[in-house]
Structure formats: structure tokens, C-alpha cells
Structure 1
Amino acid sequence: MVTENLKKFETPVFPFTAIVGQEEMKLALQLNVIDPKIGGVMIMGDRGTGKSTTIRAITDLLPKIEVVKNDPFNSHKSDLELMGNEVRSAIQNNEPIETEFIKIPMVDLPLGATEDRVCGTIDIEKALTEGIKAFEPGLLAKANRGLLYVDEVNLLDDHLVDILLDSAASGWNTVEREGISIRHPARFVLVGSGNPEEGELRPQLLDRFGMHAEIRTVKDPILRVKVVEERTSFDQNPALWLANYESKQQELRDKIIDAQKLLPTVEIEYDLRVKISEVCSQLDVDGLRGDIVTNRAAKAHAAYDKRDKVTIEDISKVITLCLRHRLRKDPLESIDSGDKVGKVFREVFEIEN
């Protein structure tokens, strides 16, 4: 009864399938959900372009996940990479484990968050007096197997951004205090958003995000009117709106689940892999992260389109998203980095404009 009452007070989420435009951002989010190993997405754009609305809407599309009951890390019942130490010990000792299905967690990281709030804390006094590791989980524990959203990531302390990116890349969070160490799984899709006017992220931090989507304010007056009208009617009667979009939402939900299942079988031919690396080489991309992410994203895109072979079309859809933020910025260059990626891609893949 209490749960039902709480549901009435849940804030309705604007349906993902009702969002007009912003195709680049929507595609990047969906591909990261299909393959979280792409490494998250950085969304840069003007104020009031629906960044937060779209990011919150994607979580509503995601299938529920099975977690160990009352576990602070949303532990998986059989995957060692996704379970905490207590669950692992219980399994090794053949203890019975209760599970439940929950909505994929979506954790908002507040701008003023401290390192302790993000990583969790160890109660040293309790550990010394009672001889147990008293760990108070933080936001990274909550975000395991879900999404971690950082609005205005370019205003976040660099040290915290480093911690988030390290956890997102390794899938683990380690907290050390006074010689006591706790390690727990923290595998999540990191989604950052920001406004370029408020400052750019350092290049070495930007490079750690798998994809970089840029969004602009809609210029077409008719499209702008449509966006305003849809938002207004949703605010007036969210229940009716959600009911109208339920079949479209379910269709996209099924498409994402099917793509997740198909992904392990998707292949990318050697020639295409060589050409992707040639594009990265010609663009003078530092390191190999660009090559790896483009390959992953192209496979996820093929799976999204229900295919087990990557095509040039798949690569063309994702390569700008994967590489534009990895280019060395020349202050004297007027060409947009996205156009530059597209130009080199067409040359290497011998595609006529």
C-alpha cells in the first residue's frame, strides 16, 4: 500500500519517443545503453535545449534488472564483475540469495558533492573498536549497473571528474582510509552535460568520454512551436500523454533489448577496422581510445538495426560522435571538428560528397 501511494507522487518522466529533434544526443544515449563499454557520453549544448529531459527520459526506456535484495551495490547474482564482496562470500558458502527486479538506477551527481559523498566513507572508529569494516556506500555504489548523470560537468572539480572517469573505465571503486581498504563494483554509463560558454573540459578528461554529442537550439519556427506545444500538453495531462506514447516506448524498449542480445555476435570486417584506424591516424588522434570506441559504437549501431555485420553506413553514423572531441584544437582553425572528421572519413572510405 505504501509503495502504491509513493508511486502517485513520482514525477512523470517525459517520454523519450516524444522528444523532437536532437537525433545526435538520442543516438549516443541509446548506443551507450546497448553497450555500456562505449564509455559514456558528453553532451555539450546551449541552455534550455532539453539535455536533462532527454537523459532522464532514456532511463524510463530501460528494462528492469535483477539485483540481490537489500544489497547496496545492486549486485548481480552470478557475474563476479558486478557483485560486492558480501554477495560473493555468500555464493562461495552456498548460502541462499534472494533477488528482486528494480528499475535501472539513474543517479544524479550534485555539483557541490564531496569526494566522501561520491566514493563512500569508512567509519574508522567503528572499524577499530568493533573490528569490522564499517563502510557507508556513496553515489558510485548506487550507480552500479545504472547511469550516473553529471549536469554542468565542466564546472565540477577536476579531481572528482578524474574519480568518476576512473571508476567508469575500470568498473570498480576503491576507498582507502587509515590503511583500511574497501573495493566495490561501480560499472555505470557516465553521462555528462554542459554549456560550452561556461568553459571546456580539459582535453585529457574529454578524451575519456566515449562519445561527444553537440546540440543546438532548434532554429525552425514550426519545429519550435511543436516542441513548446508538446511540452505544454504533457505538463497539463502527463497520464494521458504517457498512455498515448506507451506503445512507441515499448517498441523502442524491445528494440534496445534485442540489440543487447545480438551485440556479442556482431562482427566488423578487417578492412573496415583498418579504415577506421586510418581515419584516426590522419586526424592525428592521440592514443587508441578513438579506434576502440568507434569499433564498439559501430557494432552497437549494427545491433540496433538488427544486423550482425557492420556496414560503412554504421560507421558514418557514429564516427563523428566518437572522434570530434579527440582532435587537437587549433585556435586559428575555423572548420568545426565534426566537419573535419566527416571530411577525412569520406576521403578514407572513398565516399563522394
Structure 2
Amino acid sequence: MTEHHFPLAAVVGADSLKLALCLAAIDPAIGGVLIEGPRGMAKSTLARGLADLLDGGRFVTLPLGASEERIVGTLDLDAALGQGQARFSPGLLARADAGVLYVDEVNLLPDHLVDLLLDAAASGVNHVERDGISHRHAARFVLIGTMNVEEGELRPQLLDRFGLNLALDGQPQPVERAEIVRRRLAFDASPDAFVQRWQAEQQALATRCQSARQHLAAIALDDVSLGEISQRCFAAGVDGLRADLVWLRAARAHAAWRGAGAIEPVDIDAVEDFVLRHRRRQQAPQAPAATPPERPQAQQSEQPPQQGEGQWGELPAQVQAMGERRVPPRWTKKP
């Protein structure tokens, strides 16, 4: 029995996210997509729908408890013990080649594993040097990570390494919510019929992505576009140069998505928020604290201390003669 994924073309709304996913599929070197949002917002549904648009069509989920060996691959113990051969046993990165690698709650993974995934996603290659083996294989996949910021955040160094970043609206409008539920119920009731119903739209989306991938190399990464992008990155106060490179690649992918022959201002504008959302520094100017006006120092003779100022119960000093007992002026003797 064929397992059907909910078609990406049938997803209600989320147009910006669908565009970002398609751009990452057109050029995986963009570095993947990080989706933020609460649970129950169909993040995994969108990721699975994207896999159907790729040539390989593979969808690989990375479980939270996965070890480094399971991800990158390791020594085949059966071959080593039974045949005395050092043979490579592929991991999840090899399985995800030409498909989608989906990491739910990526912010809960150990930092070194997130770093490893981002390295492979950016380079398209997995290189393993361990256990007496040296192996290199293609790992050209679209990395999609999801996270709920209420459960923890990624370090800025790792956040920056995701190419694109978007946040899903956790409160869609009532009409949109009803349509989302309606389509989900129709898919659950009869996946075959639902997929058939959306086949034309899904096929058109897949054809457009494939055409854009083939057209991508013909679009120049020109200096004019780079100059504009670098100016905007500088104005946004982003650290490093990764934003400039990702933005230029994403703008080129958008131009290919439109079927254009060159990067144009509309392409630069279309991907700006995807690139800068997680990199832009919030530098709201702070007004200097108001300095209270200096109080003039009054002469002691002009403004004598009032009663109750200074130490409690303190009385003015009185001149006393030696051998003479004086009664303080405020005290009176009882008759």
C-alpha cells in the first residue's frame, strides 16, 4: 500500500512558508529552513509535502535521541567481525540524500549534532573519519528544522547557520481554521481520493520547482545585487557575512522560481525577511537618563536644618563652660 503525504499544494495559507521551502528545494546550498511555531501547526505536514516535489522524494525524520553514529554512519560491525573488513554502514544523512531531512524540535538536540547537520546541509557532502574507515558520500538534502521557542532557544551561532527562518501564526482566522480542519478530515477519510483531487496543482508545483532548479545555474550572482544586499545587511547590523551569501543565493532561487533570467529588486525584496529575521540585531536607541538639576548649596547660616532632619533627636550644640552645669534650653525643671 502506497503511503500518501498531504500535498503541499493543498495546505491552506502559509504562502510565505511554502515559498521558503520551495526556494530551499531549488537551491539546497541556501542552508535549510528553520520553522518556529507552537505545536499543532502542521509543520511536519509541510515538510512531508515538500519531499514529494523533489526528484528523490525521500523524507527522513531525525529522532531526538539519535546518536552521532546513527546520523553520519559508522563501521559495519557484521562485516568487521564476520569478514574482517572495514566497511561503512550508512547513516541518516546518506538516506536523506536527494530528499528532505526533517528535525523536529531541533532546539532540543545537542549543539554538536546541530552543527554537524548544518555542515552537511551547506556542503552537500558527509565525510566520515572514524573507527578505522574513511568514507565520503553525497548528502544533498533539504534540511528543515522546527522549534517552539517556549521550550528553549538555539544559540545565536547555530541560529545564524540556518539559511532561512520563518514563524507560523498560531492564531489563523476562523474561516481559515475551518478550511484547514475540513481538508485534514477529507485526507484522513480517503487519502487516495484527496491526493487525486489535488494532483494537478501538486504536479504544477513540482514542475515549477524542477524547472527552476534546471534554470538556476544560468542566473548570475551579479555585483549589483550583491552590493544592494551588502548595504542592507550592514544597515541591519548582522554579524558575519553568511547573511549576504544566503540572501544572494535565495534571491537567485527566487528569480529562477519566477522564470526570470537575472536577479531583480523584486527577488531581493521577496526573501529579505526570510534571511534577516533571525540575524537582524535589535538596536532600539535608548534615550539617555534624565539628569536631575543640581540643587544649589545653600549657606548653613541662610537655611538652618529643620526639625526632624539629620539624626533623630539631635540637638544643637551648646557652649559649655568648665565647671558650670548648663541646662539645655529646651529642658525645663519641674517645680
Does residue 14 of structure 2 align to residue 25 of structure 1? Answer: no
Decide which of 27, 48, 52 is 1:56's aligned counterpart.
Answer: 48
Asked whether 1:267 is paired with 2:259, we answer no
- 1:226-253 CA-partner distances (Å, limit 9, x unpaired): 1111111221122221111111111111
Among 282, 291, 302, the alignment partner of 2:255 is: 302
| Shift in Å, 1:182 | 2.6
What are the equivalent positions in structure 2 for 1:209-228 lying under 5 Å apart?
A: 209-228=162-181
Please, which of 193, 196, 209 is the counterpart of residue 146 of structure 2?
193
**Alignment RMSD, CA only?**
2.1
CA contact (8 A) 1:24 1:214 kept: no
**Displacement after TM superposition at 1:11 (Å):** 3.0
Deviation at 1:145, TM superposition (A): 2.4
In the TM superposition, residue 133 of structure 1 has moved relative to its aligned partner by 1.7
* Alpha-carbon distance in 1 for matches of 2:122, 2:255: 23
Q: Residues 177-326 of structure 1 correspond to what in structure 2 (within 5 A)?
A: 177-267=130-220, 269-326=222-279
Structure 2 counterpart of 1:170: 123
Paired with 1:58 and 1:279, the residues of 2 have a C-alpha distance of 30
Is the CA contact (8 Å cut-off) linking 2:29 and 2:124 kept in structure 1?
Answer: no
Structure 2: segments with no counterpart, 5+ residues: 287-335
Task: Give distance in 2, aligned partners of 1:149 and 1:107.
Answer: 6
CA offset digits 1:54-100 (Å, max 9, x no partner): 1101111223xxxxxxxxxxxxxxxxxxxxxxxxxxxxxxxxxxxxx
SS in 2 for 1:29: helix
Runs ≥4 in structure 1, deviation > 6 angstroms? 330-333
Alpha-carbon distance in 1 for matches of 2:129, 2:214? 37
Q: Offset of 1:204 from its aligned partner?
A: 0.5
Size of the aligned set, in residue pairs, is 286
TM-score (norm 2): 0.80
CA contact (8 A) 1:24 1:215 kept: no
Residues 242 and 119 from structure 1, CA distance in 2 versus in 1: closer, same or farther, beyond 3 angstroms? same
Q: CA deviation at 1:300?
A: 0.7
Q: Which has the higher helix share?
A: 1
Deviations 1:80-139 (A, max 9, x none): xxxxxxxxxxxxxxxxxxxxxxx4322110111111111112147954885532221111
d(CA) in 1 for partners of 2:188 and 2:235?
49
- The offset of 1:329, in angstroms, is 5.5
The offset of 1:261, in angstroms, is 1.4
- The structure-2 alpha-carbon separation of the partners of 1:11 and 1:104, relative to structure 1 and needing over 3 Å to count, comes to closer
Mapped partners of 1:19, 1:275: distance in 2: 34
Amino acid at match of 2:164: M
The CA distance in 1 between the partners of 2:39 and 2:175, in whole Å, is: 20
2:136 is equivalent to residue 136 of structure 1: no
Report how far residue 327 of structure 1 moved. Answer: 2.6
Residue-by-residue CA offset, 1:142-195 (whole Å, 9 max, x unaligned): 112222110110111112111111222232223333444333222222110111
Q: Which amino acid aligns with 1:251?
A: A
In structure 2, the partner of 1:46 is: 38
Q: How far, CA to CA, are the matches of 1:43 and 1:152 in structure 2?
A: 10
Distance 2:140 2:197 in 1: 34
* 1:88-103 alignment, distance < 5 Å: 103=56
* Equivalent position SS for 2:36: strand
Secondary structure of the corresponding residue to residue 217 of structure 2: helix
Work out whether residues 10 and 198 of structure 2, in 8 Å CA contact, stay in contact via their aligned partners in 1: yes
Q: Sequence identity of aligned pairs in percent?
A: 48
AA of the residue aligned to 1:108: T
Partner residue, 1:84: none
Structure 1 unpaired stretches of 5+: 1-7, 64-102, 334-353
Q: Secondary structure at the match of 1:325?
A: coil
| Cα separation, 1, equivalents of 2:215 and 2:148 | 36
